[in-house]
Chains A and B, each alone.
Chain A
Amino acid sequence: MSLDTDPIGPPDRMPDPAPGRLSRAWQSDIAWSFRHSPVAIVAALVFLTLVIAALAAPLIAPHTPFDPATLNLMDGFTPPMGEGLGSGSLYWLGTDDQGRDVFSTILYGMRLSLLIGLAAVGFAAVLGVSLGLVAGYAGGWVDALIMRIADIQLTFPSILVALLIFGVARGLLPPESREQMAVWVLILSIGLSEWVQFARTVRSSAMVEANKDYVQAARLVGRRPMAILFRHLLPNVMGPVLVIGTIYLALAIITEATLSFLGVGAPPTSPSLGTLINIGQDYLFSGEWWILLFPSLTLLALALSVNLLGDWLRDVLNPKLR
Chain B
Amino acid sequence: MFAYVVRRALQGVLVLFVVAFIAFTMFRFVGDPLDGLLGQEATQLDRIELRERLGLNDAVPVQFARFVGNALQGEFGNSYRNGVPVAGMIADRLPATLELAMVSALFATLLGIALGVYTAIHRDGWLANAIMSASLIGVSLPTFLIGVLLIWVFAVELGWLPSFGRGATSDLLGWDSSLVTVSGLKSLVLPAITLGLYQMTLVMRLVRAEMLEVLRTDYIRFARARGLSERAVNFGHALKNTLVPVITIIGLQVGQITAFAIVTETVFQWPGVGLLFINAIQFVDIPVMATYLLLVGTLFVSINLIVDVLYAVIDPRLRAERPAGRA
* B122–chain A nearest beta-carbon distance, Å: 18
Query: Which of B18, B286, B296 meets A160, CB within 8 Å?
Result: B296
* B234–chain A nearest beta-carbon distance, Å: 21
Nearest A residue (CB) for B300: A155
Kindly state the separation between the CA atoms of A164 and B25 in the bound complex, as whole angstroms.
Answer: 13
Contact B144 A261 (CB under 8 A): yes
A159 on interface, CB distance cutoff 8 Å: yes
A168 on interface, CB distance cutoff 8 Å: yes
Kindly state the separation between the CA atoms of A123 and B120 in the bound complex, as whole angstroms.
Answer: 38
Residues in A with CB closer than 8 Å to B281 are: 163, 166-167, 170, 264
Proximity string of chain A (143-156) to chain B, C-beta cutoff 8 Å, 1 when within and 0 when not: 00000000110011
* A24–chain B nearest beta-carbon distance, Å: 32
* B212–chain A nearest beta-carbon distance, Å: 10
Contact A157 B30 (CB under 8 A): no
B43 on interface, CB distance cutoff 8 Å: no
Given A156-B300, A157-B256, A172-B30; A304-B144 close (CB under 8 Å): no
Label chain B's interface by main secondary structure: helix
Contact A303 B286 (CB under 8 A): no
* B68–chain A nearest beta-carbon distance, Å: 17
Mark the stretch among B98-106, B110-118, B134-142 that contacts chain A.
Answer: B134-142
Given A167-B289, A289-B152; A263-B278 close (CB under 8 Å): yes
Query: Which of A152, A168, A300 meets B15, CB within 8 Å?
Result: A152
Residues in B with CB closer than 8 Å to A292 are: 148, 152
Mark the stretch among B51-59, B166-174, B258-266, B318-326 that contacts chain A.
Answer: B258-266
Kindly state the separation between the CA atoms of A304 and B137 in the bound complex, as whole angstroms.
Answer: 7
Kindly state the separation between the CA atoms of A258 and B144 in the bound complex, as whole angstroms.
Answer: 7
Given A160-B296, A170-B281, A254-B142; A284-B136 close (CB under 8 Å): no
A81 on interface, CB distance cutoff 8 Å: no
Residues in A with CB closer than 8 Å to B137 are: 300, 304
A1 on interface, CB distance cutoff 8 Å: yes
Contact B145 A296 (CB under 8 A): yes
Residues in B with CB closer than 8 Å to A300 are: 137, 140-141, 145
A311 on interface, CB distance cutoff 8 Å: yes
A204 on interface, CB distance cutoff 8 Å: no
Given A152-B15, A262-B266; A303-B142 close (CB under 8 Å): yes
Kindly state the separation between the CA atoms of A277 and B142 in the bound complex, as whole angstroms.
Answer: 12
A121 on interface, CB distance cutoff 8 Å: no
Kindly state the separation between the CA atoms of A172 and B29 in the bound complex, as whole angstroms.
Answer: 9
Kindly state the separation between the CA atoms of A143 and B297 in the bound complex, as whole angstroms.
Answer: 24
Residues in B with CB closer than 8 Å to A250 are: 140
Query: Which of B139, B218, B284 meets A167, CB within 8 Å?
Result: B284
Nearest B residue (CB) for A250: B140
Kindly state the separation between the CA atoms of A164 and B282 in the bound complex, as whole angstroms.
Answer: 11
* B49–chain A nearest beta-carbon distance, Å: 25
Contact B31 A171 (CB under 8 A): yes
B151 on interface, CB distance cutoff 8 Å: yes
Kindly state the separation between the CA atoms of A242 and B185 in the bound complex, as whole angstroms.
Answer: 44
Kindly state the separation between the CA atoms of A5 and B289 in the bound complex, as whole angstroms.
Answer: 58
Interface size on A, residues (CB 8 A): 41
Residues in B with CB closer than 8 Å to A168 are: 26, 30, 289
Kindly state the separation between the CA atoms of A166 and B282 in the bound complex, as whole angstroms.
Answer: 10
Nearest B residue (CB) for A3: B221
Contact B262 A262 (CB under 8 A): yes
Given A254-B142, A296-B145, A307-B136; A157-B152 close (CB under 8 Å): no
A50 on interface, CB distance cutoff 8 Å: no
Query: Which of A151, A171, A289, A311 meets B136, CB within 8 Å?
Result: A311
Of residues 245 through 272 on chain B, the ones whose CB sits less than 8 Å from some CB of chain A are 255-256, 259-260, 262-263, 266-267
Given A155-B15, A250-B140, A307-B136; A296-B260 close (CB under 8 Å): no
Query: Which of A1, A157, A285 meets B156, CB within 8 Å?
Result: A285
Nearest A residue (CB) for B11: A151
Contact A258 B151 (CB under 8 A): no
Contact B284 A171 (CB under 8 A): yes
Contact B140 A277 (CB under 8 A): no
Residues in A with CB closer than 8 Å to B144 are: 257-258, 261-262, 274, 277
Contact B136 A304 (CB under 8 A): yes
Contact A258 B263 (CB under 8 A): yes
Contact B260 A157 (CB under 8 A): yes
Residues in B with CB closer than 8 Å to A157 are: 255-256, 259-260
Residues in A with CB closer than 8 Å to B228 are: none
Contact A262 B263 (CB under 8 A): yes
Nearest A residue (CB) for B147: A281
Query: Which of B151, B262, B284, B301 meets A284, CB within 8 Å?
Result: B151
Kindly state the separation between the CA atoms of A151 and B37 in the bound complex, as whole angstroms.
Answer: 37
B149 on interface, CB distance cutoff 8 Å: yes
* B32–chain A nearest beta-carbon distance, Å: 10
Kindly state the separation between the CA atoms of A130 and B300 in the bound complex, as whole angstroms.
Answer: 28
A299 on interface, CB distance cutoff 8 Å: yes
Kindly state the separation between the CA atoms of A254 and B141 in the bound complex, as whole angstroms.
Answer: 8
Kindly state the separation between the CA atoms of A258 and B256 in the bound complex, as whole angstroms.
Answer: 15
Residues in A with CB closer than 8 Å to B255 are: 155-157
Contact B280 A167 (CB under 8 A): yes
A308 on interface, CB distance cutoff 8 Å: yes
Nearest 5 interchain pairs by C-beta: A157-B259, A303-B140, A171-B30, A167-B281, A304-B140
Q: Could you list which residues of chain B lie within 8 angstroms of chain A, going by C-beta atoms?
A: 15, 18-19, 26, 30-31, 136-137, 139-145, 148-149, 151-152, 156, 163, 218, 255-256, 259-260, 262-263, 266-267, 277-278, 280-282, 284, 286, 289, 293, 296-297, 300-301, 304
- 14 A–B contacts, CB within 8 A, in A order: A156-B259, A157-B255, A157-B260, A167-B280, A167-B284, A168-B30, A168-B289, A258-B263, A264-B281, A289-B152, A299-B145, A300-B141, A303-B141, A304-B137
Given contacts A163-B262, A261-B263, A274-B144, 12 further A-B contacts (CB under 8 A): A155-B300, A157-B255, A163-B277, A164-B289, A167-B280, A262-B262, A277-B145, A281-B148, A303-B141, A304-B137, A304-B140, A307-B140
